[in-house]
Amino acid sequence: MKRILSCLILFLMLFSLYAKGQADEKFRLIHSDKLFMTKAGEEQALELNGNVHFFYGNTEFLCRNALILDTQKIARLSGNVIVKNDSLTLEADTLAYYRIPDLMNLGGRITATEKTKTGIYRWIKSNFASYDKANDILTTWNRVNSFDYQENAHIQCGYAQWDRKKGYAILLEEPFITSGTKDTLSVAAEKMEYFDQEHKLIATFNVKVERNEFHATSDFLIYFLNEEKAIFTGEPKFFSNFADAKAMEFHLFLKDRSLMRAELIDSCHIDFAEEQFMEKKNKVDADLVTMDFLDDQLRIFVAEGNVDYYFQQDQTEKKDFMINSATGAYLQANFDDNSKLQSLQMKTDIKGKYVFQQ
């Protein structure tokens, strides 16, 4: 009789806990190996141990241990914690859920995974995180690592916040992104922002972009992922085995992360070599410069508007020593498949001189 009475009291307390949550979250206990219910003053506590599984509204919780404080509206979970909320799944060692204001604090080996209806998804790992469930904002910090399957991009930083409603993410504390394979394309900066709808990345302060055959620096970068177009402003500079360049603005066009075309706009200055890995003792100044690449090799170089160039040809068995300097409105240089200079041609308002040995 006492056992029946105890079970009845426990059922009534659980029903009371469920009814109180019905107006907002609807607490539903699915399973627990052990269950303890206590009441102290106005606080009603439910302790669950072993294979714990319950719901608050549509959010599903699984863990080894849970303590649910009904009056304070706090749930504390530990041991292989898993939270499933729509397309987002959170995993952690510990979690504190504050039902008002609908906030979760997570700690220890955290993984957040998003999977869409089309199957495209991303994951984020960190040591600490908080999830503002009311506003659908995930904040992570301390050794943040992430991978985006759609963009094929790896991300590292010290702090990241992801506003899932707005499709906006901000990365701070030495953010570093690698797109494609690890030796394909990388971006580093002091701050990065990603806009999901436009598939656009903005990097600011000490920006550095690297690929096998080149690297570029600036204070500001906009990278349009769909078009694979990068715009550099703020004293941009470009470095490669063939040339070093600077201008007021750079536009880089890529295909499958390979550089196809570079445009330098306003106050362009380029120091270049006759072929790769040689001394960069030649120069070009112009208003606009375009460089076309094929198979990662420079093939065509065009300078326009107030062109001023200097070229020195060293003596070899097949060539004599020669210096050519000139000004004009148009210069085109053609290169072979090893980025070795084949010909130079100038047009319009040409003024210059040649210097030969002897």
First-residue to last-residue Cα distance in the chain: 121
Summarize the chain as % helix, strand, coil (round to 5).
Answer: 5, 65, 25
Q: Tokens representing 226?
A: 């769909």
User: Which pLDDT value is given to residue 2?
Assistant: 42
pTM: 0.83
Q: Tokens representing 172?
A: 């701070």
136: left (phi over 0), alpha (psi -120 to 50) or beta: left
Backbone angles phi, psi at 10, to 5 degrees: -60, -40
For residue 341, what are the β-bridge partners?
Answer: 335
How many helices and strands in the chain, by DSSP H and E?
1, 26
Euclidean distance between CA atoms 193 and 157, whole angstroms = 12
Q: Tokens representing 331?
A: 């210069």
For residue 82, what are the β-bridge partners?
Answer: 62, 91
Report yes or no: 309 and 326 within 8 Å, Cβ to Cβ: yes
pLDDT tens digits, 12-28: 444 444 444 444 567 88
- The answer on pLDDT for 84 being more than 70 is yes
User: Which pLDDT value is given to residue 41?
Assistant: 74
Residue type, 333: A
3-class DSSP assignment, residue 256:
coil
Q: Is the peptide bond before 101 cis (omega within 30 degrees of 0)?
A: yes
Strand 249-255 to strand 243-246: parallel, antiparallel, or no bridges (unpaired)?
unpaired
352 Cα distance to chain centroid: 48
Report yes or no: 37 and 45 within 8 Å, Cβ to Cβ: yes
For residue 61, what are the β-bridge partners?
Answer: 54, 83
* Alpha helices for the chain (secondary structure H): 2-21
Burial class (CB in 10 A: 0-12, 13-18, 19+), 123: middle
CA separation, residue 337 to residues 5, 27, 210, 295 (Å): 89, 68, 22, 8
Report yes or no: 161 and 137 within 8 Å, Cβ to Cβ: yes
3-class DSSP assignment, residue 117:
coil
Residue 278 contacts by C-beta under 8 Å, 6 or more apart in sequence?
none
Euclidean distance between CA atoms 74 and 78, whole angstroms = 14
- The answer on pLDDT for 126 being more than 50 is yes
Predicted confidence band of residue 317 (pLDDT cuts 50, 70, 90): low
Residue 42 contacts by C-beta under 8 Å, 6 or more apart in sequence?
71
Burial class (CB in 10 A: 0-12, 13-18, 19+), 89: middle
Predicted confidence band of residue 358 (pLDDT cuts 50, 70, 90): low
Mean pLDDT of the chain: 85
pLDDT tens digits, 233-288: 999 999 988 889 999 999 999 888 788 999 999 999 999 887 777 888 889 999 99
Taking CA 109 as the corner, what is the angle to CA 103 and CA 113, rounded to the nearest 5 degrees? 65
pLDDT tens digits, 127-168: 999 999 999 999 999 999 999 888 888 999 999 999 999 999
3-class DSSP assignment, residue 133:
coil
Q: What is the DSSP letter of 241?
A: S
Listed residue (242, 328, 250) closest to 293, CA to CA: 242
